[in-house]
Amino acid sequence: LFDGWIAFLSVSQRDPKLVMLGFVDLKGEVEDLAFGEEGFEGQPPKLFAVGSCREYGSPLLWVVSPPPADFEPSTEELDRVVCGVACGKLGSSQKIEDKPTALAPASQDTVLIGFTSGDIKLMPKPNFQGLATPKTPHLQPISTLPGHDQLITRLQLVGPGRQLLISSSMDGSVRKMYIDEALRTSSPTMLKYLHNPYNGGVSQVFATCTGDYLMSTGSADGLLVWSDPRSGNKMPQPLAAELEKMAQGDEALLHIDDQMLGDLKPWKPISEEEKAQRAEATDDPELTALALAQRRALMLEVENLRKKLRLLIEQNATCPELEQLPRSEFCVDFEQSDGIAAKTKERCDALRAQIERENVARQLVRDRLIKEFWDPMPGKGCQITSFSSSMAVSNYPERLVPDEEKIRLKKLRIMRQAEKMEVEFLKGSTCPSRLRTDAIIKTNEFATGKESYIVNWWQDGSDAAKKATDDQRLLYQPFELQTSSRRRLQIHLLQALATSYRADFNKLFEGCQHEKKGVMDQIKEKVLRIRSILGELQIEEEVQLPDLDDSEDPNAVLEVKDREIKVEKWISPEEKAKLEEARLKEEERQRQLRENDAGQRALQQMMGGTLKTKKDLSALEIVLDKEPWMDEIPEEEMTEAQLQAMKEYHEKERALAEEQDKYRKQLDVECQRLKQEVQDLMKQFEGTLKDLNRQRFAFDSMFFYQELYCVRLQLALLQSVEDATVLTTSSQELQVARNKLEEAEAALQNFTTKVATKKAKQEERLKAEKDASTAANFRLQFANSGLETEMVTALLQLFRKRSPAVAQKRESGQAPADLSLSAQNSVQVSQGGNDPYPDIGVNVAVEGLDQEDLNMERPENIDPTGFERMLELRAERAKAEFEVQVGAAELREMNHLLAYYQGERDEAERATKQLELELEDHKQLMQREMFDIEVLFKLKQGRVEVPQAAVVTDYSDAVVLDCEVLESRNRRILEIGRDKVGILQVIKEFRKKLSLIQWEYKMLLMQTHDLEERTKDVHMLRVTKGLQSLLKGSEEGRNKADADSLERKLEHLSRTMADKEAALKKQHAMNSHAAKMRKAENATLEKKLRELQNNVIQREHIRRLRAPQPGSGNGGGGLQDGEKPRIIGGGGRIEENEEAIRGAHERFREVKTRQTLMEEAKKNTEEIDILSKELDRLRQKTFPSFVQLSDNAGYPDRR
Rounded CA-CA distance 489/713 in Å is 10
Closest CA to 204 of 149, 154, 241: 154
**Distance from the Cα of residue 148 to its chain's centroid:** 13
Helix (H) or strand (E) holding 9: strand 5-11
Sheet holding 213-217, edge to edge: 204-207, 213-217, 223-227
- Give me Rg for the CA atoms of the chain: 62
How many other CB atoms are there within 10 angstroms of residue 251's CB atom? 6
pLDDT digit string, tens, across residues 1029-1070 = 766 766 677 778 788 888 888 898 898 999 999 999 988 989
Give the pLDDT confidence score for residue 732 in this predicted structure: 93
- What residue type is 546 in one-letter code? P
Rounded CA-CA distance 295/288 in Å is 11
SS3 903: helix
Closest CA to 501 of 308, 708, 702, 786: 702
SS3 1164: helix
Give the pLDDT confidence score for residue 603 in this predicted structure: 63
- The per-type count for the chain, helices as H runs and strands as E runs, is 23, 20
Rounded CA-CA distance 1087/1095 in Å is 12
Residues 6+ apart with CB under 8 A from 608: 1186, 1187, 1188, 1189, 1190, 1193
Residues 6+ apart with CB under 8 A from 720: 484, 487, 929
- CB environment 154-180: b (16+ within 10 A), e (fewer): bbbbbbeebbbbbbbbbbbbbbbbbbe
Q: Are 293 and 285 contacting, i.e. CB atoms less than 8 angstroms apart?
A: no
Parallel, antiparallel, or unpaired: how do β-strands 164-169 and 173-178 relate?
A: antiparallel
Give the pLDDT confidence score for residue 1008 in this predicted structure: 94
pLDDT along the chain (1199 residues), means of 10: 72 69 83 73 74 81 83 78 84 80 87 91 86 83 87 88 88 87 79 80 86 81 79 66 58 51 60 61 60 82 84 85 82 83 89 91 91 87 88 89 89 89 80 71 72 77 72 84 87 91 92 92 90 84 84 85 80 85 89 72 62 63 77 81 84 86 88 91 92 92 89 90 92 92 92 91 86 78 74 78 60 45 39 39 40 63 77 83 88 90 92 93 88 82 82 83 86 94 94 94 94 87 73 70 85 90 90 88 87 81 65 45 54 63 80 84 84 77 47 42
Q: Are 1151 and 1178 contacting, i.e. CB atoms less than 8 angstroms apart?
A: no
Rounded CA-CA distance 290/296 in Å is 10
Ranges of H-type helices in 332-376: 334-369
Rounded CA-CA distance 443/479 in Å is 8
Dihedral over Cα of 989, 991, 994, 998: its sign: negative
Give the CA angle between residues 452, 456, 459 to the nearest 5°. Answer: 60
- Using CA atoms of 1163, 1164, 1169, 1172 in order, give the dihedral in degrees to the nearest 10: 150
**Cα→Cα distances 508→548, 688, 694, 1032, Å:** 19, 11, 12, 91
Q: Please state whether the predicted TM-score (pTM) of the whole model is above 0.85.
A: no
Q: Are 103 and 111 contacting, i.e. CB atoms less than 8 angstroms apart?
A: yes
Q: Are 8 and 66 contacting, i.e. CB atoms less than 8 angstroms apart?
A: yes
Rounded CA-CA distance 169/151 in Å is 5
**Distance from the Cα of residue 1048 to its chain's centroid:** 83
Give the pLDDT confidence score for residue 245 in this predicted structure: 59
Give the pLDDT confidence score for residue 993 in this predicted structure: 93
